[in-house]
Amino acid sequence: MKAGIHPTYEPATISCACGMKFETRTTVGDMKVDICSSCHPFFTGTQKIVDAEGRVERFKKKYAKTAQAKAKV
């Protein structure tokens, strides 16, 4: 690596809005984030599917037919 062209890579504290804090290394410095893996719905298991205009039901209905056809074979 060439000397003098790379940014400094230093320890930093990442703070979430939920209160979680963790240490990492970054070139930016300390950061504050809105959501982390401790409070994100996908990781906590509280994610809900937002059904816009019955799309989820249509999808399930459409592919239920193919699943039944495969089960008969």
Domains, the chain: 1-45 (4.10.80.400)
Please state, in angstroms and rounded to a whole number, the distance separating the CA atoms of residues 11 and 31: 11
What was the pLDDT predicted at 40?
Answer: 80
CB atoms within 10 A of CB 58: 11
The answer on pLDDT for 73 being more than 70 is no
Question: Is the pLDDT higher at 49 or at 43?
Answer: 43
3-state SS track over the chain: CCCCCCCCCEEEEEEECCCCEEEEEECCCCEEECCCCCCCHHHHCCCCCCCCCCHHHHHHHHHHHHHHHHHHC
What average pLDDT score do residues 6-35 get? 91
Question: Is the pLDDT higher at 48 or at 13?
Answer: 13
Q: What is the pTM of this model?
A: 0.52
The closest alpha carbon to 9, from 30, 24, 25, 32, belongs to 25
